[in-house]
Chains A and B, each alone.
Chain A
Amino acid sequence: GDSVTQMEGPVTLSEEAFLTINCTYTATGYPSLFWYVQYPGEGLQLLLKATKADDKGSNKGFEATYRKETTSFHLEKGSVQVSDSAVYFCALFYAGGTSYGKLTFGQGTILTVHP
């Protein structure tokens, strides 16, 4: 079945450091890929998405490129801020077969940014 694997956390960085959170997936067909962010005590917010190979999603300084050849969708940010501290989830959606309506999530990566 479909699955998403994220790098294990937690990740701790200093402000203005470079961020990479790795995400790889296994899926039937060609899924859409997402990064969601969850701030403490809140629900999930969509951070960025990519719907086909080589697409780059970007938002709030975060970027991720859909790499079909390596089945990856790594999240990057050039200079993190304290306000970026949150849990980040990689997810995929595949509309084919019987998986209609289901997002498959990775386990989440906790990011803490210190001043």
Chain B
Amino acid sequence: DGGITQSPKYLFRKEGQNVTLSCEQNLNHDAMYWYRQDPGQGLRLIYYSQIVNDFQKGDIAEGYSVSREKKESFPLTVTSAQKNPTAFYLCASSAPGRVGSWEQFFGPGTRLTVL
């Protein structure tokens, strides 16, 4: 079945450590996104990528980094520079370019907790 997988489901990190969250899709979508979800604040866009080897900062990119070396994969690194990284992280993908194709498909999420 086509879909988006994120791993791990739960992640614990000590302060000062970098961690990388995995996101893989087999939907053959060109565009991929990372969102952060905090209680009562909806979803905020961290980074997005429209095509392989290209990505753009979203609204809250500070303290995060991404890469897009393959169409299927869009890993997110939460660096030690991110001041408040504890949150639920959601990855999404879409197939822009076709009329009405702006729907974004979401993965199950990774809950990151900084100890």
CB of B103 within 8 A of CB of A105, answer no
A32 interfacial by beta-carbon distance below 8 Å:
yes
CB of B100 within 8 A of CB of A51, answer yes
Q: Which residue of B lies closest to A4 (CB)?
A: B42
Over the window 89-110 of chain B, the binary record of Cβ atoms lying under 8 Å from chain A Cβ atoms (1 yes, 0 no) is: 0101010100010111111110
| Residues of B43-89 contacting chain A, CB below 8 A | 43-45, 48, 50, 56, 58
| 10 additional A-B residue pairs with CB within 8 Å, beyond A101-B94, A103-B102, A107-B40 | A32-B100, A42-B108, A43-B106, A44-B43, A101-B50, A101-B96, A103-B33, A103-B43, A103-B45, A105-B42
**Which of A45, A95, A100 is the most central at the interface, judged by chain B CB atoms within 10 Å of its CB?**
A100
CB of A46 within 8 A of CB of B43, answer no
* Complex Cα–Cα for A46 and B102 (A): 11
Contact A42-B50, Cβ < 8 Å, known A101-B94, A102-B58: no
The contact size tier of chain B is 20 to 34
Chain A: interface residue total (CB-CB under 8 A): 23
* Complex Cα–Cα for A82 and B70 (A): 41
* Complex Cα–Cα for A95 and B31 (A): 14
Contact A32-B102, Cβ < 8 Å, known A43-B107, A101-B50: yes
Q: Using a CB–CB distance below 8 Å, which chain A residues touch chain B?
A: 4, 32, 34, 36, 41-46, 49, 51, 89, 93, 95, 100-103, 105-108
CB of B41 within 8 A of CB of A107, answer yes
CB of A95 within 8 A of CB of B109, answer no
Contact of B90 among A43, A49, A101 (CB under 8 A): A43
**Which of A44, A105, A106, A107 is the most central at the interface, judged by chain B CB atoms within 10 Å of its CB?**
A44
Q: Which residue of A lies closest to B59 (CB)?
A: A102
Q: Which residue of A lies closest to B103 (CB)?
A: A46
**Cβ–Cβ < 8 Å partners of A32 in chain B:** 100, 102
